[in-house]
Amino acid sequence: MEFQVKLTANAKREIEAAYLWLKQSNPVYADQWFRSLMNVIATLQEKPRRCALSRENDNFPEEIRQLIFGKSRNKYRIIFTIRDDMVYVIYLRHSSQSSISFNVLDWDLE
């Protein structure tokens, strides 16, 4: 089964903020990072349940998973949920950031 992947408005904002931050110091790297991130997110079309449950999963009534992107100190957690045949990317968090408290209103899944 192939899933459709959708970025929530919140995830788009977080991706843009990370990209702009990286671009300040290294525009070439920022562009590579963005392309790689989008390619990794696209892999969620196939077997998104291969990804581990996020550390926030127990604090939320809906299953929340994460896909790790990047290496060493530049790792990000792509946090998503699955509904039927849709994968909704709801957050992008740098691995050094604290856990998130979910606000369903941020998700804008439709």
Question: What is the extent of the structural domain holding 34?
Answer: 4-105
Is 13's pLDDT higher than 90?
A: yes
Is residue 76 in a domain? yes
* Per-residue model confidence as pLDDT tens digits over 46-59: 999 999 999 888 88
Rg of the chain over Cα atoms, rounded to whole angstroms, equals 14
Q: What is the pLDDT of residue 29?
A: 93
| CATH code, 56 | 3.30.2310.20
Is residue 59 in a domain? yes
Is residue 28 in a domain? yes
Is residue 19 in a domain? yes
How many domains does the structure of the chain reveal?
A: 1
C-alpha separations of 93 from 37, 80, 85 in Å:
12, 11, 24
Assess contact for 67 and 44: CB atoms under 8 A: yes
Whole-number percent of the chain with pLDDT over 90: 70
Is residue 55 in a domain? yes
Could you tell me the pLDDT band of residue 71, with boundaries at 50, 70 and 90? confident
Longest dimension (CA), the chain: 41
Q: What is the signed CA dihedral for 4, 5, 8, 14, rounded to 10 degrees?
A: -170
Is residue 63 in a domain? yes
Is 37's pLDDT higher than 80?
A: yes
Distance CA 78, CA 91 (A): 6
Assess contact for 91 and 103: CB atoms under 8 A: no
Between 1 and 29, whose confidence is greater? 29
Distance CA 9, CA 47 (A): 23
Average pLDDT over residues 39-50: 96
Whether pTM > 0.75 for this model: the answer is yes
Is residue 101 in a domain? yes
Is residue 110 in a domain? no
